[in-house]
Structure 1
Amino acid sequence: MPQNVLYGSHESIRLQEIQNMQTAVRRTKALMKERVIPNQMVQPGILMMILAIILMTNYVLVRQPNIKLFDVLVFVTGYTLGFRRGALVAVAGWLIYGNFNPFGPTTATLLAVVSLSQVIYAAAGAFLRIVLSNNKIKFTPGYHTLLIGLLAILTTLSYDLITNLYTGLTWASLAGSSDTYEWLKVAVFNPGALYFSFAHVASNALFFVGLSPLLVRLISKLEDTRKAD
């Protein structure tokens, strides 16, 4: 075979290899841009940031019983990152705040009750995601506003009912009384419980309706940035 033909053949093969490598690089870059990490691999930094905000605002509002951003942050986490992430934030928040707060650590049983009750907000957020997609939660009032407000009221009433029932059972046990029903009724309907429940429901309704669109937008942007990396 003539030398120039052989040389041309080698150059053609080399050129083809370079083109193949360039094609592979382009495909790899495209795959990296399109790569979406599974939901169970959500970057821990996002959850840590949410947890830090929960603890910080809890300590700032420690003198305002039942008025916290904890609930809405768990709700939004459940909506944007899924139920399991929301539940994780709920339980972790209570494990830390329940043991390290100005009033002293709580009992293990009460900690379990409030932690599991807090998960209700994560479940509500995950449910809302099924009903409303991300782009339907807007800053302007609409159907989503009514739905978020309704979920805020229902979840807060459920949380208060569960925790107050636990209080009633505790009082009955401490009193050594067999009339558990009366203690439960007192725990749920005494003036103090009604006042704190009203404050809890009213503040949550405002926080959920007013802050959810903003928080959803911020967390979604962080999540989109992570997916694009």
Structure 2
Amino acid sequence: MKIDDKLFRKAMSSFPSGVTIVTTLDTEGQSRGFTATAFSSLSCNPPMILICLSNKAECFQTFTSSGRFAVNILSQDYEQLAMRFATTGADKFAGGEFVLGESGLPVLPYALASLECKVDQFHPGGDHVILTGIVEHANVHEGEATVYFGGKFRFLAELVPAKIDALKLQVTALMIKAVRKETRAGTLDCRAVLDETGCDVQKAIDLIRSRGQKTPKIVWV
């Protein structure tokens, strides 16, 4: 299928990513920032990260002229804040959630992690710029992450149960196949006995045999 903007965005939204708020100060000392999911570690030695910023962002000039920035990795408590920082024209720092970090940059005191960086390089990338930074200060807290997936902000707890259920279905199908191979019992009988034995294949086989459940007649053609 030929790629277009809509299809590309849909494809990329199928990749779950963490959510960050990136901050800096302008030349007048005013706080500026934006929500970003295009974030990654880059190097361990020296410690480096990268972030992608749209060329059309309101704060583009500030970030490309400032020598420092901070990345705040969001816990699930900051979903609404992420929405605010992703909204054009919003008064992003109105809530007073930020404090000044060790380098004087705005950071969230209870973010999962806050990384204060010195700008390293800028790299053009289509309609974005890739901003790399050397991490100078970091703080880490425990908590559950906010995740961007399917075009929405979500919590990990929303995603994990669905994956576990899918895994159970796959495992159960394999177990049913194994029990049927040994007993020739019907699919529904195998499933019922597997549920009864806590998905223990050998116990299910033994139980079917002990009950003398009839097996389907096999006709070779």
TM-score normalised by the shorter chain: which range applies?
A: under 0.3
> Larger strand proportion, structure 1 or 2?
2
Q: TM-score, normalised by structure 1?
A: 0.24
> Larger helix proportion, structure 1 or 2?
1
| Structure with bigger RCO (C-alpha 8 Å, 6+ apart) | 1
Q: TM-score, normalised by structure 2?
A: 0.25
